[in-house]
Amino acid sequence: MVSDKEMEEYARECVRLAQLADDQQVRERLLQMAREWMAVAMHENGTPKSKPSLANGMNHNLSPLIPKGTIKRDSD
């Protein structure tokens, strides 16, 4: 079983990769994955320790993971 700390590390890695991504769809997908890993790590989805469902549309705040101004959006 994956620990909460490992799930948070996965989320941070997704954010790191999103910052490197040139393609907006890839970036958005990685950020969604990060949200889901953090949600599972924090047990917000109601089933502690379950694997993230990558298509469930969760929208959790990643502000603790993403330094302000580090991701340039195409609309910027």
Q: Which residues are CB-neighbours of 17 under 8 A, at least 6 positions away?
A: 30
Instruction: Answer whether 17's CB lies under 8 Å from 32's CB.
Output: no
What stretch of H or E contains 14?
Answer: helix 4-20
Q: What is the pLDDT of residues 30-60, one digit of tens each?
A: 999 999 999 998 886 555 554 555 444 444 4
What domain count does the chain have?
Answer: 1
pLDDT of res. 72? 52
Mean pLDDT of 17-24: 96
pLDDT, mean over the chain: 75
- What three-state secondary structure class fits 2? coil
Q: Which residue has the tokens 């990643």?
A: 62
Query: What's the domain range around 25?
Result: 1-76
Q: 1 falls in which pLDDT band (50, 70, 90)?
A: confident
Confidence at residue 8, expressed as pLDDT on a 0 to 100 scale: 94
pTM summary value:
0.58
